[in-house]
Structure 1
Amino acid sequence: MRRSSTFLTVAEVADRLRLSQMTVYRMCQSDTIASVRIGRSYRIPVVAVEAIESAGGAR
């Protein structure tokens, strides 16, 4: 099964992991989670979010 989108926005990741958007931004900036910077925004690969979910959540 192929996903229509392989990247998520900071807001989508925050909702999915039940974190604040600021926490997700900090995770991106500190390389705690893989991310790509596009202009002034971040995009996070779905596989990176799934890895955090399978490991038991964000810490």
Structure 2
Amino acid sequence: MSTATPAPADRLLYRPEEAAEVLSIGRSTLYELMTAGLLESVKLGRCRRIRRSALEQYVNGLTPESH
């Protein structure tokens, strides 16, 4: 069980773990979405980050039939 505090909604960039928590999905599922090109991410040095706008775009594109 994680004791981390929820990621603030006013952030512009999220670590993959934080983005997964925001979307209520697992970390591996988040990486699968990034690999499939369904969730855009940016690379900063060796770190991968997900923009808040990319999370919103992904959620807005979901349909009742989405997996």
State if a TM-score over 0.5 links the two structures: yes
Which consecutive residues of structure 1, in runs of 5 or more, have no partner in the other structure? none
1:13 to 9, 12, 19: 19
Deviation at 1:56, TM superposition (A): 4.8
Output the TM-score relative to the length of structure 2: 0.63
Q: Secondary structure at the match of 2:14?
A: strand
Q: Counterpart of 2:41?
A: 35
Q: Are the counterparts in 1 of residues 38 and 58 from structure 2 also a CA contact under 8 Å?
A: no
Cα RMSD between the aligned structures?
A: 2.4
**Greater length-normalized contact order (CA 8 Å, ≥ 6 residues apart):** 1
Bigger proportion of residues as helix: 1
Count of residue pairs brought into register by the alignment? 57
Output the TM-score relative to the length of structure 1: 0.70
Q: Alignment identity in percent?
A: 23
Task: Flag the structure with larger Rg.
Answer: 2
